[in-house]
Amino acid sequence: MDHGKLIACHDCDLLQREVAVPEGGGLRCRRCRAPLWRELPNSLDRGLALSIAAVVLFAISNVYPIVGLSVNGTVVETTLLGAVSALYHDGKWPIAGLVFATTVLMPILQTVSMLWLLIPLKFDRVPWGGPAIFRLCHLCQPWGMTEVLILGLLVALVKLSAIAGVVVGPALWSFGLLVFVLAAAGSAFDSRNLWSRVTAVEHTGAEPGLDGASLQGAVTAARCGLARCHDCGLLASAQVVNAHAFHCPRCGATVHLRKPASLSRTWAFLIAAIVMYIPANMLPVMYTNSLFGTENDTILSGVVYLWTSGSWPLAIVVFVASIAVPMLKILALGYLTISTQMHSRWHAVERTRIYRMVEFVGRWSMLDIYVITMLVALVQFQALATIQAGNAAIAFGAVVVLTMFAAMAFDARLIWDEVEQDHVRTREKA
């Protein structure tokens, strides 16, 4: 059997044969049902076109104002970078840095990285520094949050409409379009197709195969001395079956049979997130100074305001994203870590699905941070009203980042190791 015709599931490590799928179809793991890859027609050409469109829209979104407030003929407008600058000068540089990284830096790096890789391949050239640029693109992907930003802008508009007249800027529309273009570009960026094109351009031969004996009784890639690269997806052969780490021969990323100290690192991030979750919900997230006095708003009071003002759909969205999701994510990661440490074999498929859901919803907790960013930047009418970010915003931003790190540190393949041991013991008894 040729290991070039084998694939390993990134969630349960099950070795499976690669099969042909129709255009637009996809392949799922037969054990944990994780999506393995999709066959996208003209994926590289579509990815290139959409990436170019994303660059144009991103430039428009950051040059023109997003939204403005009109009070007595005075209009205060802000761009995204202007809002970040307002937070920085307000003394909340950790939040300013987080907003800049997730809405400007990471989307730019991801888009430019895709262009760096796709433009040379369009002309049958190998991208210079391709492996490093690919790893950079993969690193930036989970941290770009433009889709969360646009939802945060909508919530901010509802709150701002109660203060003054809202003036919608051109950047708001371009950001709305950018969300769909970036999502389509990311979906069209097929790393499997990209590396097959690179291999064809370089005229490299087939990867070394596995003999049939090495696969006797083996179920997972690790039992065969193979490990799947989490960056490029290559099923690579380790020099030693119990090797702690080695470098992917294709993209150069560090590959582990299992993430080192996965459970202890998950617990470290998770406990830190629990500690920060308390001040994030107890302390004021922003201060409003007006002619009528000073108001201290927590995350929950912001939800109550949206509900009582009639915007109950947005109130539900903010409650779910800012209160329910962080709490449920902490509980879910705690359950997964404890059950894995106890070598539980119960409901492995369901636990793997919980992990995938935790990975997916984690970024949406940034919603309240983006709302605060826009309110701080726009409500600066010194004689009438000003809004400042509270220390709870820093704590809440830390909760979001720490829970995302905890999810990244957790190795879902550990859920299935105990199941695999049962299979081995059953085969030995037989």
Listed in sequence order, the residues at least 6 apart from 331 whose beta carbon sits closer than 8 Å to its beta carbon are none
Is the pLDDT reported for residue 430 higher than 80?
no
Q: Say what the pLDDT of residue 241 is.
A: 44
Which pLDDT tens digit goes with each residue over 220-276? Answer: 888 887 888 888 888 887 654 445 677 888 888 888 888 889 999 999 999 999 999
Which pLDDT tens digit goes with each residue over 308-360? Answer: 877 777 788 888 888 888 999 999 999 999 999 998 888 889 999 999 999 88
Sole residue written with tokens 């919603």: 367
pLDDT (average), residues 12-30? 83
Tokens representing residue 37 in the block: 């890859």
Contact between 229 and 157 (Cβ < 8 Å) = no
The band of 116, judged by pLDDT with boundaries at 50, 70 and 90, is: very high
Q: Say what the pLDDT of residue 266 is.
A: 96
Contact between 403 and 329 (Cβ < 8 Å) = yes
The tally of CA atoms less than 13 A away on the side-chain side of residue 185 is: 27
Q: Say what the pLDDT of residue 402 is.
A: 95
Q: Say what the pLDDT of residue 205 is.
A: 41
Is the pLDDT reported for residue 366 higher than 80?
yes
Q: Say what the pLDDT of residue 1 is.
A: 38
Cα–Cα dist 416/393, whole Å: 38
Tokens representing residue 5 in the block: 């015709």
Is the pLDDT reported for residue 130 higher than 60?
yes
DSSP string, 337-384: HHHHHTT--TTHHHHHHHHHHHHHHGGGGGHHHHHHHHHHHH-EETTT
pLDDT (average), residues 385-403? 88
Q: Say what the pLDDT of residue 242 is.
A: 47
User: What is the residue extent of each domain of the chain?
Assistant: 3-39+206-257, 42-205, 260-430
pLDDT (average), residues 399-405? 94
- Please give the model's pTM, rounded to 2 decimal places: 0.87
Cα–Cα dist 242/222, whole Å: 8
Which pLDDT tens digit goes with each residue over 268-301? Answer: 999 999 999 999 988 888 877 765 556 777 888 8
Least confident range of 16-30, 122-136, 346-360? 16-30
**What mean pLDDT is reported for the chain?**
82
Cα–Cα dist 66/71, whole Å: 17
Q: What are the backbone dihedrals phi and psi of residue 227, each rounded to the nearest 5 degrees, phi first? A: -140, 140
CATH architecture of residue range(s) 260-430? Up-down Bundle (1.20)
